[in-house]
């Protein structure tokens, strides 16, 4: 069993070592999520302290839009993109999961929005210099060469990527969660294939966000996000009692404090 033995004693069951574990962010994982909820949405209950990474990211997009054309790469069911509907001349969202795209098109409110099944890591089916702003929120990492082609020179390209959660989770629940090095801003640059992309003014910020998980079950719901029912049953049986003890010992009135880290990339097309 993995994990480091901490002061709370026990090393908990590690669902990642079970044969039913679906690797997060694989195609199978996104399809499983769609099957279960029809959406890409976090199912655990929690409260956040301000500022929130997604809100800051949304403000940066809006500030650069100037009623232009906007692309969301890896849009999920499209909810995040819809907030820009009145501020954009046109919005396109692309994703590889057909179900997310169908759902996005069913719920879009205005004719200037279109969701399409497209692989963001391949050739993007748009003319040169078509968009004013393009972003991904936790989506593909290999689209920046194409971003530079399809966004107008000087247009903004943004990426928000989850860089792991820390705080209570990793220290308090060894085995269930494993240790993680403290992320740093430039960690992500080697993953993003920016070399030779033509992008300029590349800037990466590491953003720390504070979340309070509401109940012990939410610790397990977060861990098992996107996993199948069978594995969830096993995890609940193996871990819930221990997780309740640890949670109750460390939670504040707001819940169990967790730090979420995000990398926020901004760049300009040339
Ligand atoms: C972590 S989810 C985020 C969804 C949405 N952007 C949000 O923040 O709620 C990542 C999304 O990227 C999509 N995705 C992953 N790889 C992709 C690719 N190569 N091309 C297009 N979409 C992709 C997934 O299907 C999923 O909907």
Q: In what order do the strands lie in the sheet with 200-213?
A: 46-48, 200-213, 256-268, 151-165, 131-137, 69-73, 90-95, 113-117
Q: Ligand 1: does its nearest atom lie under 6 Å from the Cβ of 93?
A: no
How much is the pLDDT for 109?
Answer: 75
- Does the beta carbon of 226 lie inside 6 Å of ligand 1? no
Q: How far is the CA of 5 from the centre of ligand 1 (A)?
A: 35
Are residues 201 and 260 in contact, defined by beta-carbon separation less than 8 angstroms?
no
Q: Which pLDDT band holds residue 163 (cuts at 50, 70, 90)?
A: very high
Cα–Cα distance for residue pair 209/60, rounded to 1 Å: 17
Q: Which of 23, 26, 98, 139 to mutate to test the pocket of ligand 1 (most atoms within 8 A of CB)?
A: 139
State which ligand 1 atom lies nearest to the alpha carbon of 162. Answer: 1
Q: Where does the pLDDT of residue 214 fall: very low under 50, low under 70, confident under 90, or very high at 90 and above?
A: very high
What's the pLDDT score for residue 8?
56
pLDDT in tens, 233-259: 999 999 999 999 999 999 999 999 999
Q: How far apart, in whole angstroms, are the C-alpha atoms of residue 219 and residue 176?
A: 9
Spell out the domains of the chain, with CATH numbers in brackets: 15-268 (3.40.50.150)
Q: What is the pLDDT of residues 15-70, one digit of tens each?
A: 999 999 999 999 999 999 998 888 999 999 999 999 999 999 999 999 999 999 99
- Among 96, 101, 191, 263, residue to substitute to test ligand 1 (most atoms within 8 Å of Cβ): 96
Mean pLDDT of 194-202: 95
Structure tokens at 94: 């692309």
Report whether pLDDT(209) > 90: yes
pLDDT bin (cut points 50, 70, 90) of residue 166 is: confident
Tokens of 258: 């967790």
The answer to whether the beta carbons of residues 265 and 201 sit under 8 Å apart is no
Distance 242 CA to ligand 1 centre (A): 34
Residue 266, Cβ neighbours under 10 Å: how many? 18
pLDDT tens-place string over residues 71-106? 999 999 999 999 999 999 999 999 999 999 999 999
Give the per-residue pLDDT at 6: 46
Place 2 in a pLDDT band, splitting at 50, 70 and 90.
very low
Average pLDDT over every residue of 158-171: 89
- The answer to whether residues 116 and 101 touch, using CB atoms and an 8 Å cutoff, is yes
By the 8 A CB rule, do 53 and 209 touch? yes
* C-beta 219 within 6 A of ligand 1: no
């Amino acid at each position: 069993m993995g994990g480091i033995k901490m002061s709370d004693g026990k090393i908990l069951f590690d669902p990642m070592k079970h044969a039913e574990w679906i690797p997060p962010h694989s195609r199978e994982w996104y399809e499983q999520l769609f099957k279960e909820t029809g959406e890409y949405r976090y199912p655990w209950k929690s409260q956040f302290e301000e500022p929130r990474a997604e809100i800051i990211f949304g403000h940066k997009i809006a500030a650069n839009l100037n009623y232009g054309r906007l692309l969301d790469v890896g849009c999920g069911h499209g909810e995040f993109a819809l907030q820009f509907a009145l501020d954009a001349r046109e919005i396109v969202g692309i994703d590889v999961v057909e179900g997310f795209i169908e759902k996005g098109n069913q719920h879009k409110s205005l004719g200037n929005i279109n969701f399409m099944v497209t692989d963001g890591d391949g050739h993007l089916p748009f003319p040169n210099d078509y968009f004013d702003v393009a972003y991904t929120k936790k989506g593909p990492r290999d689209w920046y060469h194409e971003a530079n082609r399809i966004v107008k020179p000087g247009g903004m390209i943004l990426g928000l990527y989850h860089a792991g959660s820390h705080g209570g989770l990793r220290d308090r629940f060894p085995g269930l969660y494993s240790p993680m090095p403290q992320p740093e801003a430039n960690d992500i640059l080697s993953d993003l294939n920016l070399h030779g992309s033509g992008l300029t003014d590349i800037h990466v910020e590491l953003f720390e966000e504070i979340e309070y998980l509401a109940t012990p079950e939410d610790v397990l719901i977060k861990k098992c996000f996107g996993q199948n029912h069978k594995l969830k049953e096993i995890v609940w049986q193996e871990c819930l009692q221990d997780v309740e003890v640890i949670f109750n010992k460390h939670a504040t009135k707001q819940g169990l404090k967790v730090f979420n880290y995000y990398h926020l990339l901004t760049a300009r097309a040339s």
